[in-house]
């Protein structure tokens, strides 16, 4: 622990993780309130295929293996959106139910992603750096570089600015799309913006929690924050704080030598926060309810 405050790498990792946690937590509120939690899970799993493909294509094109998260996360973004688009196509034109459609897309994209990853890992001659892609399964905050942190900061600020400028419209659209449409708002555009925000929230989180557990970082802060707050703005801010604190704590535990994957640590911290919120949240939690029944 001693070297924690002086070690530049650890400071960077903690700061970067906190930013990611805040961003995913805040954007997760939209997914939660639109009842798209499981959509988040599918996008996260599916993005593995995008990450592996992006890595492979860069290697084929340039001959060097790049693990710049700018490139990998672009791949993740494309794959995530593709899986959502396909799910939508399947469920609106056939009798497959949305739930099953999501499950299938998850299976196809993630399964193919794993297949390709294992294939590349065994290919000869060995591709340098391919084993590092494994970190995207369960998250490894410690591999973050200062370039990565800057990129996340820029994406975060862009998402934040979009959210603030369009805040009222996004809020109304999330709450009551029919009415927003009646007021003449461009709801198709709002839908696209919102979806893009949610997918960005998922994709940036992949580095620290990984594709398998991403749903935890996306949803748990929102679900906890919902218990404490009475307005959507407060919910987003609270979720951002919960996400940031949990991600930073998880990164510290993981980066100070234990070698544990960051994802599960962060998700467990978040689950504890969630359980705590459910029980003690003022005016809403289970304790409050019990007191009301007694009195």
Question: Which residues inside 262-291 make contact with another protein, applying CB under 8 A?
Answer: 263-265, 267-268, 270-271, 274, 278, 284-286
Query: Of the two residues 12 and 212, which places its CB atom closer to another protein in the complex?
Result: 212
Member of 79, 141, 195, 223 binding another protein (CB under 8 A):
223
Query: Long-range contacts made by residues 155-161, C-beta under 8 angstroms, separation at least 24?
Result: 155/23, 155/200, 155/204, 156/19, 156/22, 156/23, 156/204, 159/23, 159/27, 159/197, 159/200, 159/201, 160/26
The answer to whether residues 51 and 72 touch, using CB atoms and an 8 Å cutoff, is yes
Please report, as residue ranges, which positions from 103 to 132 form the binding site for another protein (by CB under 8 A).
103-104, 106-108, 110-119, 122
50 is a site residue for another protein (CB under 8 A): no
Q: Which residue has the tokens 């929690």?
A: 209
Please report, as residue ranges, which positions from 52 to 91 form the binding site for another protein (by CB under 8 A).
89-90
Query: Of the two residues 154 and 275, which places its CB atom closer to another protein in the complex?
Result: 275
Cα–Cα dist 189/187, whole Å: 5
Q: How many residues bind another protein (CB under 8 A)?
A: 85
292 is a site residue for another protein (CB under 8 A): no
The answer to whether residues 106 and 215 touch, using CB atoms and an 8 Å cutoff, is no
Q: Which residue has the tokens 């990129």?
A: 151
Query: Of the two residues 104 and 153, which places its CB atom closer to another protein in the complex?
Result: 104
94 is a site residue for another protein (CB under 8 A): yes
Please report, as residue ranges, which positions from 231 to 260 form the binding site for another protein (by CB under 8 A).
231-232, 234-235, 259-260
Please report, as residue ranges, which positions from 151 to 210 form the binding site for another protein (by CB under 8 A).
165-166, 168-169, 171-172, 174-176, 178-185
Q: Which residue has the tokens 């592996």?
A: 52
The answer to whether residues 49 and 243 touch, using CB atoms and an 8 Å cutoff, is no
């Amino acid at each position: 622990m001693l070297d924690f405050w002086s070690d530049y790498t650890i400071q960077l990792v903690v700061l970067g993780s906190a930013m990611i946690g805040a961003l995913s937590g805040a954007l997760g509120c939209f997914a939660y309130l639109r009842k798209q939690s499981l959509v988040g899970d599918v996008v996260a799993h599916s993005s593995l295929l995008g990450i592996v493909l992006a890595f492979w294509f860069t290697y084929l094109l340039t001959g060097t293996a790049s693990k710049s998260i700018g490139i990998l996360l672009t791949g993740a973004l494309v794959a995530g959106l593709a899986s959502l688009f396909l799910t939508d196509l399947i469920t609106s034109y056939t009798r497959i139910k949305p739930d099953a459609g999501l499950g299938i897309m998850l299976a196809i994209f993630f399964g193919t992603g794993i297949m390709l990853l294992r294939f590349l890992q065994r290919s000869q001659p060995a591709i340098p750096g391919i084993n590092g892609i494994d970190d995207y399964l369960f998250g490894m905050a410690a591999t973050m570089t200062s370039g990565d942190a800057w990129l996340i900061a820029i994406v975060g600020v862009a998402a934040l600015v979009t959210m603030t400028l369009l805040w009222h419209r996004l809020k109304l659209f999330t709450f009551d799309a029919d009415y927003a449409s009646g007021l003449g708002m461009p709801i198709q555009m709002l839908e696209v913006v919102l979806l893009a925000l949610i997918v960005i929230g998922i994709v940036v989180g992949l580095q620290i929690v990984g594709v398998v557990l991403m749903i935890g970082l996306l949803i748990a802060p929102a679900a906890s924050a919902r218990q404490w707050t009475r307005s959507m703005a407060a919910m987003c801010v609270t979720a951002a704080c919960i996400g940031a604190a949990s991600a930073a704590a998880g990164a510290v535990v993981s980066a100070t030598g234990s070698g544990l994957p960051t994802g599960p640590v962060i998700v467990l911290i978040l689950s504890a926060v969630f359980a705590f919120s459910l029980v003690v949240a003022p005016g809403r939690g289970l304790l409050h309810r019990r007191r009301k029944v007694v009195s």
